Amino acid sequence: MRRNIKIASADPQENYLKWINIAMLAILFLMVGGYFTWSENVGLTRMIKVVSRIGMTLAIIFLHQNIISRGAVASFSWKNAGSPLLYLAYLLLGFASFLWSTKVSYSALQWFMDVESLVFSFFFIKSFILLDDYFPQNKIKFYNLVGNTVFLLIFIFIIGMFVNPDDFFRLVEGGESKRLGGYIMNPNELGMLCGVGISSLIFDLYRKKDKKWTLTKILILVYALILTKSRSSLIGLLLIVFFHIRKSSNKRLKMLTYLGSLLIIPVAVEKMIMRKGGLEEVLSMTGRMPFWKALITEGLPREPWFGFGFMRIDYKDHFESVHTYAGHMTHNTFIQVLMNLGFIGFVIAMTQLFLTMVGFLREKEEENKLMLLGILIPVIINSLTEFGIFGETNYGILFYQLLIFSISIKSSRFLSKRERIFMLKRRPDWKPS
């Protein structure tokens, strides 16, 4: 039977959907917040991470089941199946690499955290699909939850930089400059998070008539991004803005945006790009280029096919070379996967990313396509200089996993007899047609 559901609106149902919206926001907020180092106490930090991340994974599973018990059928099928299948292949190779990893305990910890966030992402996206199918009047939007989650987290940093600047700012360049993030979060990662939030909240501008509050949130995120002094995040922000403007039919909006960008870019270049070290530092990717060259020419030939093990880049904890600094990670997600899983893992990861991009472009709804690409842009750009989507555990991986399931899970077109009986018992107002 074709799944075409017509359900009468009722106040109890509206209240339930409001509760679901708040619950999903709280779950996503605590989940993403679990990636931050909120305390210098190692034991307390670990406890926070365990409670927030594993706890929120259990919470979203419970919420998913709650939606079903309210009157929904968890019947799904796959589309763009190559993307999730190859991601599983990447994780399976990572699991197999425990056999040759140079430090199994570290590889296993990273692997299990990636699997945990994958489970969270699966049930989070499934919950959205259930709501869209069986509660069509719901106003819960993925981009709204992501945007508000990011805003709430960044607002903590905005307050913190006034209340406790020593913890919320990181001194760099010999103390001559400071960057928002402190040691709670890498400033580049925080800048990427701002980009994800801005990209998500832009869709609220399209949807809502009263745009003042949304614009205020976006401006606060832009302000925070500038304070992180993240060059890659600035590039991502500009790409997101021009991407949206190109799609807009409002000529006045286009003109104002281009004019504003022309005014902002010189200031951004002076404050964020032409920092200590000048153009030479920018061209060397703040010293990363020599490190990447040493990794590929000296490190990779030692273990070219299967690498040093999941999230390992050398036989020791740090890769060392006479030509560059010592580092425990590559600051480039693509070189990272090349070093820890070799050419085999690299090919799997690159093919998986390609199929994910193809899946985005195949999306029929223009808004959905634009949203997915808008979130992906800052995540991918950040992957070129930091942990990234195939690096050590970070919330960029979480967002990427959410995007994978967004393009690969769809509701089944038909309900079985048993499923129809279940729905009629649970939802007398449900009308199959």
Is 261 inside any structural domain?
yes
Q: pLDDT category, 2, cuts 50, 70, 90?
A: very low
4-13, 175-184, 261-270, 311-320: the lowest-pLDDT one: 4-13
**Would you say residue 281 has pLDDT above 50?**
yes
- Tokens for 93? 């190779």
Is 4 inside any structural domain?
no
Report which residue type is found at 15.
N
Q: What pTM was computed for the model?
A: 0.91
Cβ–Cβ under 8 Å, residues 386 and 186:
yes
pLDDT value for 280: 53
Over the stretch 196-230, which tens digit does the pLDDT of each residue have? 999 999 888 888 778 889 989 999 999 999 899 88
Distance between CA atoms of residues 121 and 116, nearest Å: 9
Q: pLDDT category, 124, cuts 50, 70, 90?
A: very high
Q: Which of 329, 331, 320 is nearest to 294 (CA)?
A: 320
Is 2 inside any structural domain?
no
- Count, residues in the chain: 433
- DSSP E strand stretches across 92-174: 169-172
Is 319 inside any structural domain?
yes
| Percent of the chain's residues with pLDDT above 70 | 86
Mean pLDDT over the full length of the chain: 87
Q: Which residue has the tokens 């190109």?
A: 246
Over the stretch 333-344, which tens digit does the pLDDT of each residue have? 999 999 999 999
Q: Which of 382, 309, 358 is nearest to 98 (CA)?
A: 309
The residues, ordered by sequence, that sit 6+ positions from 241 with a Cβ below 8 Å of its Cβ are 257, 261
Q: pLDDT category, 252, cuts 50, 70, 90?
A: low
Is 165 inside any structural domain?
yes
Over the stretch 128-181, which tens digit does the pLDDT of each residue have? 999 998 898 889 999 999 999 999 999 999 999 999 999 999 988 777 789 999
* Burial class of residue 46, CB neighbours in 10 A (0-12, 13-18, 19+): exposed
The number of domains in the chain is: 1
Is 1 inside any structural domain?
no
Q: Map 124-169 to HEC letters.
A: HHHHHHHHHHHCCCCCCCHHHHHHHHHHHHHHHHHHHHHHCHHHHE
Distance between CA atoms of residues 382 and 362, nearest Å: 24
287-296, 359-368, 380-389: the lowest-pLDDT one: 287-296
pLDDT value for 269: 62
- Tokens for 380? 């991918």
**Would you say residue 97 has pLDDT above 90?**
yes
Q: pLDDT category, 13, cuts 50, 70, 90?
A: confident
Domain encompassing residue 357: 11-426
The mean per-residue pLDDT over the stretch 404-433 comes to 81
**Would you say residue 31 has pLDDT above 60?**
yes
Is 373 inside any structural domain?
yes
108-117, 238-247, 348-357, 362-371: the lowest-pLDDT one: 238-247
The mean per-residue pLDDT over the stretch 119-132 comes to 96
**Exposure letters 48-68 (e unless 16+ CB within 10 A, then b):** bbeebbbbbbebbbebbeebb
Is 432 inside any structural domain?
no
Distance between CA atoms of residues 328 and 1, nearest Å: 55
